[in-house]
Amino acid sequence: MARKLPRKDVVVIGLGWTGSIIANELCDEGLDVVALERGPWRDTATDFNIGYAPDELRYNARQELMLRPAQTAVTARNNADQTALPMRQYGSFHPGNGVGGAGVHWAGITWRFSPADFRLKSHYTERYGAQSIPEDMTIQDWGLTYEEMEPYYDRFEYLAGVSGKAGNLDGRMQEGGNPFEGARKREYPNPPMMQTFGPTLFAETAAKMGYKPFPIPSSLLSRTYTNPLGVTMGQCTFCGFCTNYGCANYSKASAQTTVLPVLMRKPNFELRTLCEVLKVNLDSTGKKATGVTYVDTSGDEFEQPADLVILCAFMLDNVRLMLLSGIGKPYDVRSGTGVVGRNFCYQMANQVVGFFDPAKYNFNNFIGGGATGMAIDELNNDNFDHGPLGFLGGGSTRCAPIGAEPISKRPTPPGSPTWGSGWKKAMRDSYLSNLSVGCEASSYANRGNFLDLDPTYTDRLGRPLMRITFDFPENDVKMSAYVTKKVAEIVRAMGAQAIDENPRTGPWSVVPYQSTHVVGGTAMGADPSTSVVNPYLQSWDVPNVFTVGANVFPQNSGYNPTGTVGALAYRAADAIRSRYLKSPGPLVQA
Amino acid sequence: MTPSDAPKTGQPSVFHTSRRRFLATTAMGLVALSASGASAKILFGTGLPWDSGSIEPPRQVLPGPWTFFTPREGEMVEAIAERLIPADDLSVSGKDAGCAVFIDRQLSGHYGTSDRLYMKGPFQPGLPTQGDQSDLTPVVKYRQGLKALDDHCRRTMGGKSFTDLSPEQKDQLLAAMEKDEVTFDGPVGAGSFFSLILQNTMEGFFADPIYGGNRDMVSWKMIGFPGTRYDYRDHVLKHNQKYTAPPVSIGGRGDWARKG
């Protein structure tokens, strides 16, 4: 029997990027806010101590900061005819755990989605005709425009101190920035990062071939910066222990380095760590949430009443909590009806590794970070004519050495031995003279890809695991083959002697790491028959429940998601502050 | 519920009652959620809590007796590490770099028993795309795999044990295991055992020396990885120029340590 606690105005589930931003905004509104975090407290001084933060075995190989499968796993299968089995260890993607969430170990690449992304189905229909969209491709519009998102992108970028170069300032194109980006009202808060040899060679070569390279927008900071909340961050040192690690320099933007020093001092904010929410409680009508039930480390259950419940956990957990709580109609793959779990998408992570003459090339790839590098956007989204190609979508292409910790980052040319003296020589020769160029590409929704509750496997608390049914749709595989071929042309022109081309091909496997950009499942949109939350991220069915995370993406763009996720947190906070609190209830009539 | 346990509205009763409960709870009823087995905490209006000791620093692995392997098993793993990473003009062997010590100490920790992984049943065979579905932990895989390897040698190599084989014979056998062309008795397949020991040997060779392998940063020196230096701002714009400073590890450098 759960013990009932005194009520709060707001309960926030998960204290990562989105939970921290929303909690801080709602505390400023004077509300009494409690955050429930399933993992431990984490901060820079204690947990990302510079003395032992650079530890590849602990943080990358053994995934110290990631969600442990013993706490929560997922099951996976490629299609509804297979039996899903648990990912006994996380491979393909790495959910975070603890305060800061996956925003602790992210790479820091901070894009805005393109204007066309937010009206994707309309855009493709207008440009290529309705028949260009395959029958089983369930892409859709977001129910809001890039112009509506712009102020929220701006707020997130200034919070995080993003270092970059504008390509489009209020419609005026800027030399050296991304010529394909939507118009922004002002420059990035910080200038671009310095560039090492590899990205510089990539950019010079790409420019000669007619591309327009620009610095990757980076939440690793190019200089010391104090954000609008008064929190100061330090300059990135290119330490090379970045993606999959916490930053010991206070130079990678995260909840820890941007929001928490302010939020944690607020008297109307309370955080309970190692407390896992079991479900959102609904009243007898099923149309109003009364709070949440959670369990702490003693195993005891608590009921936390609240007027407003905001799901800010990792996207898979947000979808799972909706299903476990009976919020929204679950998707049924056979009939194609229902919405919760629908439009689960991923990211097509394509890569080309170039092997250069070790006598002439020394890239020093250990000097780098998750977002230090150069990019081109000609191969992304609909920035090229898809008319004759037979597929839709594309990806952002970038050369960004993220570090070269040698357990995981010591590629050898195709055909090299994997052990023995032959391997040693090949590996030693390639270590400083290989260079990787990636194309992080779109993943478009498909009728057969979805999330639901597993019928067999349960977590430590006896609740069903989330079940992923997913494979790469034919469209996305064709797209990957195309963009990877284009990327390989650039790498060849850079002077590589040997090339390893890795376009993403099916079937999707849970084993090799690909990307943590799993998205969708509770799409946002203007039409309740194809979305779970309205354009203000408010549940259509239970209006005092909001959810923020990549789970509201209707499909994935050829960009990393965090910039958009952060902007959506500001969007939801603004909707609650300026509209919902004045008149609690649906912000959009279904 | 006793009256004193009842939450009282208007005061931070959640904190007080919960804290007492946590203090009274000595054993975790559930799986350990953090490295230190921390309990749930409530934090408010505190600023950033300096929680010293909440994360365990890594501890230097010391040489000494095996903690998991039997002497026979240790000898076999050393012999395998010596072939996977042979001594040549580039570096000492995997054995001399400490890879077997590394694996031994890893098997004695959480890695060996898979206690952070999802190990609930039912266990059933899956597709290659569904990953490892075995209920065997690395501890069991090593124990069974090494035994199966030795049995296989004695059965097919004229009664010789693995460590008695010539370097060429060892390489031939390891190559056959890699291709899964050898049949092992018992639950651990030759191919999957080879993958496991190759992965762990490489981890030991390239991980920070604090874990018992990569002795004297031998692999880092070989390839030119500077280790844990953590600040390269002065070299970012030195394009295509060799980085010449020697590597540093979590424990510092060998020549900083006390001699003897």
Task: Kindly report, residue by residue over B182-195, the tens digit of the pLDDT.
Answer: 999 999 999 999 99
Q: Per-residue pLDDT tens for A272-316?
A: 999 999 999 999 999 999 999 999 999 999 999 999 999 999 999
- Confidence at B37, pLDDT banded by 50, 70, 90: low
Residue B260 distance to chain A (closest CA, Å): 25
> Collapsing DSSP states into helix, strand and coil, what is residue A248?
coil
Which chain A residues are closer than 8 Å to B233 by Cβ?
194, 235, 237-238
Whole-number Å distance between alpha carbons of B122 and B105: 30
Quote the pLDDT of residue B56. Answer: 80
Side-chain-side CA neighbours of residue B109 (13 Å): 14
Using CB atoms, which residue from A69, A266, A420 is nearest to B118?
A69
Quote the pLDDT of residue A134. Answer: 97
- The domain limits of chain B are 13-57, 71-119+130-221
Classify burial at A582, counting beta carbons within 10 Å of its beta carbon; exposed 0-12, middle 13-18, buried 19 or more. exposed
Residues of A annotated as catalytic are 517
Nearest CA among A230, A228, A231, A250 for reference residue A239 = A250
> Collapsing DSSP states into helix, strand and coil, what is residue A63?
coil
Classify burial at B71, counting beta carbons within 10 Å of its beta carbon; exposed 0-12, middle 13-18, buried 19 or more. exposed
Cis peptide before A507 (omega within 30 of 0): yes
User: Which residues, 6+ apart, have CB-to-CB distance to A263 below 8 Å?
Assistant: A20, A23, A24, A27, A269
Quote the pLDDT of residue A351. Answer: 98
Is-contact A142 A73, C-beta < 8 A?
Answer: no
Instruction: Give yes or no for B166 touching A (CB within 8 A).
Output: no
Structure tokens of B172?
């031939």
Residue A58 gets which letter from DSSP? I
Q: Which residue has the tokens 């929190």?
A: A231
Quote the pLDDT of residue A5. Answer: 98
Mean pLDDT computed over B185-214: 97
Nearest chain A alpha carbon to B112? A62
Residue B260 has pLDDT above 90, yes or no: no
Mean pLDDT computed over B18-45: 49
Residue B86: phi, psi to the nearest 5? -75, 155
Quote the pLDDT of residue B258. Answer: 57
Instruction: Give yes or no for B135 touching A (CB within 8 A).
Output: no
Q: Which residue has the tokens 């941007």?
A: A258
Structure tokens of A73?
């796993």
Which chain B residues are closer than 8 Å to A82 by Cβ?
127
Q: Which residue has the tokens 């407290």?
A: A41
Which chain B residues are closer than 8 Å to A270 by Cβ?
42-45
Nearest chain A alpha carbon to B24? A298
Q: Does the distance separating the beta carbons of B88 and A424 come in below 8 Å?
A: yes
Q: Does the distance separating the beta carbons of A269 and B45 come in below 8 Å?
A: yes
- Confidence at B259, pLDDT banded by 50, 70, 90: low
Nearest CA among A97, A12, A144 for reference residue A564 = A144
Residue B15 has pLDDT above 70, yes or no: no
Quote the pLDDT of residue B43. Answer: 81
Is-contact A393 A481, C-beta < 8 A?
Answer: no
Whole-number Å distance between alpha carbons of A30 and A23: 11
Instruction: Give yes or no for B31 touching A (CB within 8 A).
Output: yes
β-pair type (A348-355, A498-502): antiparallel
Quote the pLDDT of residue A204. Answer: 98
Q: Does the distance separating the beta carbons of B202 and A58 come in below 8 Å?
A: no
Whole-number Å distance between alpha carbons of A531 and A526: 7
CA A130 vs CA A97, A117, A396, A443, A561: distances in Å: 42, 16, 25, 19, 27
Classify burial at A322, counting beta carbons within 10 Å of its beta carbon; exposed 0-12, middle 13-18, buried 19 or more. buried
Nearest chain B alpha carbon to A429? B223
Q: Which CATH superfamily is domain A3-580 in?
A: FAD/NAD(P)-binding domain (3.50.50.60)
Using CB atoms, which residue from A39, A86, A460 is nearest to B30?
A460
Q: Does the distance separating the beta carbons of B171 and A420 come in below 8 Å?
A: yes
Examine the predicted complex and report whether its ipTM is higher than 0.90.
Answer: yes
Q: Does the distance separating the beta carbons of A508 and B118 come in below 8 Å?
A: no
Residue B84 distance to chain A (closest CA, Å): 5
Nearest chain B alpha carbon to A52? B250
Residue A266 distance to chain B (closest CA, Å): 5
Residue B17 has pLDDT above 70, yes or no: no
Q: Per-residue pLDDT tens for A315-371?
A: 999 999 999 999 999 999 999 999 999 999 999 999 999 999 999 999 999 999 999
Q: Does the distance separating the beta carbons of B40 and A273 come in below 8 Å?
A: yes
Quote the pLDDT of residue B6. Answer: 38
Instruction: Give yes or no for B22 touching A (CB within 8 A).
Output: yes
Is-contact A280 A321, C-beta < 8 A?
Answer: yes
Residue B105 distance to chain A (closest CA, Å): 13
Enumerate residue ranges in chain A where pLDDT < 50. none
Instruction: Give yes or no for B64 touching A (CB within 8 A).
Output: no
- The domain limits of chain A are 3-580
CA dihedral defined by A369, A370, A374, A376, rounded to 10 degrees?
Answer: 170
Interface test with B, best of A47, A239, A273 (most B CBs within 10 A): A273
Structure tokens of B221?
């020196």
Interface test with A, best of B5, B42, B130 (most A CBs within 10 A): B130
Quote the pLDDT of residue B1. Answer: 35
3 state SS for A544-556: CEEECCHHHCCCE
Quote the pLDDT of residue B35. Answer: 42
Instruction: Give yes or no for B151 touching A (CB within 8 A).
Output: no
**Residue A453 vs residue B2, higher pLDDT:** A453
Mean pLDDT computed over B69-76: 98
Instruction: Give yes or no for B233 touching A (CB within 8 A).
Output: yes
DSSP states along A308-376? EEEE-S-HHHHHHHHHHHT-SPBPBTTTTB--BTEEEE--EEEEEEEE--TTT----TTSB-TT-SEEE
Quote the pLDDT of residue A317. Answer: 98
Whole-number Å distance between alpha carbons of A437 and A350: 9
Using CB atoms, which residue from A55, A237, A300 is nearest to B250?
A55
Q: How far apart are the first and last CA of chain A?
A: 36
Q: Per-residue pLDDT tens for B82-104?
A: 999 999 999 999 999 999 999 99
Is-contact A222 A191, C-beta < 8 A?
Answer: yes
Amino acid at A315: M
DSSP states along B163-177? GGS-HHHHHHHHHHH
Which chain B residues are closer than 8 Å to A458 by Cβ?
120
